[in-house]
Structure 1
Amino acid sequence: MQVVYARCAGLDVHKKTVSACISVCAAEGGKQQQMRVFGTFTSDLLALADWLKEHGVTHVAMEATGVYWRPVWAVLEGQFEQMLVNPQHIKAVPGRKTDAKDCEWIADLLQHGLLKGSFVPPAPIQDLRDLTRYRAELRQSQNRVANRIQKFLEQANLKLSSVASNALGVSGRRMLEAIIAGQQDPEQLAKLARGRLKSKIPELEQALEGRVRDHHRFLLGEFLDEWEALGERIARLEAEIDRQIRPFEPAVTLWQTIPGVDRVTACNLVAEVGVDMNRFPTAQQLASWAALCPGNHESAGKRKSGRTRDGNKWLRRSLCQAAWAVTRKKNCYLSAQFKRLAARRGVKRAVMAVAHTMLIIGYHMLKNGRGYCELGGNYLELINKNHLQRYYVKRLQRLGLTVTIEPVPEAV
């Protein structure tokens, strides 16, 4: 086979060791290979980099093994052309599974140009990605604690959530703190209401008449402290995200022009796909990487399954949340697309399709530097205007009606 890279190396990365194989093709057609095993301490990785440079290696490939590849990538970055490869794409021949054979196999595949690299964002985007993912995890933890508080209130027969839309709002927290402090009089608790909740004081008095024991007070205090502590951590994290997102503020602004995308979602999208769309040759390849398009499973001319792959769950979650939000918009192309597909294919497929469309739109916006252009809620109807007109005329004629069509005069 044709040799693409004359001097390259394959790395088999583990927690404690890195097996490396250097493959060098001579001008007369011979091949030389050398193998060594290095540790994963920083000094060992620096020795690995020196060894690769000593033999004139230009390209390095490694498997995406958990998080163990990241320190190796960081040490070698800027010194070699690196390629991170999906382990499923480089499975060796069965029966020859050793670390030495693995790194040799990776080097051979790389040398002949048979590897396809995964998307690895630059270090600032990786740092931002860590922060946004951690924020999502903290919000999930806070929601779990809020659900636990609600469940415990029901055990004490305190029906606060039946009256207040947010049991952990300002008024709700004041009431909970008073209950934890020992207050049992429903009238006194109801007087702690603020804002529009003051109009529901009679209902609050009934809802706050429960059977609260010291056991309930103790655990409610623990749950409320945990909920507030998580809120403080989220606030600190958001301040750090705002600081690190400043160099990418133009991209965040572009994402926010799409209906349904708020600042939190825009920051998540920047952290997941980056700002350089040249890493993806086409918008369709970006959608395939994100697993927001139908899968391909065809054999003997039969399409067996179109199920989507797992892909990037963080990116999919953000886009699907934005897609759900945009379904409530009026006179909006994306909302019209959702309603059109949901009637035929169901809401879940429709949401996935809208998320796919939003990702395609974002790709072109970041590539061209232009914001979202709204097409209008009737755009899809105007494409097939005559067909739609004939369809409704026939339906009315089937009802025994005579239909006369006159265009509406344009406003002067």
Structure 2
Amino acid sequence: MLLGTVDHLTAQIDELDRLIARMLEEITAPPGGTGTGDEAAAVSARALAEKLDAVPGIGPATAQIILAEIGADMSRFPTPEHLVSWAKLCPGTIQSGAKNSAGPAGQGNPWLKGALGEAANAAARTDTFLGARYRRIVKRRGHAKALVAVARSILVIAWHLINDPDASYQELGANWHRRHLDPARKTRDLVRQLQALGHEVALTPASA
């Protein structure tokens, strides 16, 4: 009896997979960018799902959920920031007098946020740009806020991949932040840390 139940559920899963594949074939995205000729051809949702699957943390199922929730037409989101705001992954600001502080991002689309949360959690464990981003933020903001930041980055990447038919995911590498760190900003941060500990800091240029 138990084996019969397993066979029945397996058949249902296979049927759902077939339905999802058929729906992906039927969904197309309008031309993106300013290209002509082949570049202006409609892009199938299946092709978009394969592009999203290349992003660390995103698997085939997650790619399908993202496309199902935000669609394949980015014309209603003129910029990535519009999509991030719609998804409620952009923290609000709480103002009290002259003081501003970050507030909750809001509820947003629960299916999309759930999929992005799983993707961010998976990406955080990788030796990639997104994984390094998580490790940088978690040190000062905590696990939850670091995951939200990575989820926001994944959604921005998804916008570019869907909006531009020629775009493909390019891994920047886990050491990207270190290679592109602004020395002046790093210096200011270190000076503030020393001053917070009660030290007086006088900067002098290094000798040639």
Matching residue of 1:236: 15
Separation of aligned partners in 2, 1:361 and 1:290:
14
Cα RMSD over matched residues?
2.4
Instruction: Answer whether contact 2:21 2:46 (CA < 8 A) is retained.
Output: no
Correspondence 1:321 to 2:118: yes
Q: How does 1:62-77 map to 2 (within 5 A)?
A: none
Matching residue of 2:160: 364
Separation of aligned partners in 2, 1:230 and 1:306:
43
SS of match in other structure, 2:65? helix
Change (3 A) 1:306 1:374: same
SS of match in other structure, 1:245? helix
**Per-residue deviation, 1:226:** 5.2
1:346 aligns with one of 129, 139, 142: 142
AA paired with 1:237?
L
AA paired with 2:131?
S
**Per-residue deviation, 1:352:** 0.9
AA paired with 1:352?
V
Separation of aligned partners in 2, 1:374 and 1:336:
12
Separation of aligned partners in 2, 1:385 and 1:285:
28
- TM (normalized to structure 2)? 0.72
Q: How does 1:151-170 map to 2 (within 5 A)?
A: none
Matching residue of 1:147: none
SS of match in other structure, 2:112? helix
SS of match in other structure, 1:298? strand
1:336 aligns with one of 128, 132, 155: 132
Matching residue of 1:265: 62
Separation of aligned partners in 2, 1:314 and 1:274:
13
Correspondence 1:245 to 2:1: no
Instruction: Answer whether contact 2:91 2:103 (CA < 8 A) is retained.
Output: yes
AA paired with 1:355?
A
**Per-residue deviation, 1:235:** 2.2
Cα displacement string for residues 114-145 of structure 1 (whole angstroms, at most 9, x for unaligned residues):
xxxxxxxxxxxxxxxxxxxxxxxxxxxxxxxx
Greater radius of gyration (CA): 1
**Per-residue deviation, 1:347:** 1.4
AA paired with 2:170?
C
Correspondence 1:308 to 2:94: no
Separation of aligned partners in 1, 2:72 and 2:116:
16
**Per-residue deviation, 1:229:** 3.8
Unaligned runs of 5+ in 1: 1-220, 392-412
AA paired with 2:104?
R
Change (3 A) 1:285 1:344: same
Separation of aligned partners in 2, 1:302 and 1:345:
19
AA paired with 1:335?
G
**Per-residue deviation, 1:329:** 1.8
Asked which structure has the greater RCO (Cα within 8 Å, sep 6+), the reply is: 2
Matching residue of 1:195: none
AA paired with 1:351?
L
- TM (normalized to structure 1)? 0.38
SS of match in other structure, 1:303? strand
SS of match in other structure, 2:100? strand
Q: How many matched pairs?
A: 168
Separation of aligned partners in 2, 1:297 and 1:230:
48
Cα displacement string for residues 72-107 of structure 1 (whole angstroms, at most 9, x for unaligned residues):
xxxxxxxxxxxxxxxxxxxxxxxxxxxxxxxxxxxx
Cα displacement string for residues 203-244 of structure 1 (whole angstroms, at most 9, x for unaligned residues):
xxxxxxxxxxxxxxxxxx66x765654443222111110111
Matching residue of 1:277: 74
Unaligned runs of 5+ in 2: 26-43, 191-208
Matching residue of 1:154: none
Cα displacement string for residues 29-57 of structure 1 (whole angstroms, at most 9, x for unaligned residues):
xxxxxxxxxxxxxxxxxxxxxxxxxxxxx
Separation of aligned partners in 2, 1:301 and 1:291:
25
In proportion to residue count, which structure has more strand?
1
Matching residue of 1:139: none
